[in-house]
Amino acid sequence: MKLFKTVFITLLSAVTLFSFNAVAELQTKDTATLTVIRGAESTKTRSTNFNVYLGSESLARFKVNTAKTFTVAAGETVIYSNFYKDKPLKIELQPGKNYYILATMKKGVNKLTSVYELITEDYALSVAPELSDTASSI
């Protein structure tokens, strides 16, 4: 009877572990990694913080010199802010890929505009060195 319990518990553990691994693998297949960066800007726009949205979902509030990484559902989506004069970015997110978006604030005559641009990983690391695993502490 004791041997039966040991075998049963071992099999149950293996099935549970397999299920968790399968779910985790499924989640990675259907998601992409999105890093939104707001670097240094002019003194005219530095004090203005804004919310960034992905589709209908609010990602976060961004201030100057901020970089945040999100795991999001793959597929076509739009990135925009809470400003009326906004230049949204339409993007097709591929599963398992990393995307870097540079969010900037522009100030015109009586208006603020947020602009989004898809950038390379190398450029993202130059704008936000804290994203690098080997970033200098100096």
* Model pTM score: 0.70
| Degrees, nearest 5: CA angle 62-63-66 | 80
In a domain, 4, yes or no: no
Predicted confidence (pLDDT) per residue in 37-95, tens digit: 988 777 777 778 888 899 888 888 888 888 899 999 999 999 988 776 677 899 999 99
> Residue 23: pLDDT above 50?
no
Q: How many CB atoms lie within 10 A of CB 35?
A: 18
For residues 53 and 99, give the distance between their C-alpha atoms in angstroms, rounded to a whole number.
Answer: 15
Q: How many separate domains does the chain show?
A: 1
* Residues 94-114: tens digit of each pLDDT: 999 999 999 888 777 777 778
End-to-end CA distance of the chain: 63
CATH number at residue 90: 2.60.40
Domain of 119, in residue numbers: 32-131
**Residue 55 lies inside a defined structural domain of this protein:** yes
- In a domain, residue 91? The reply is yes
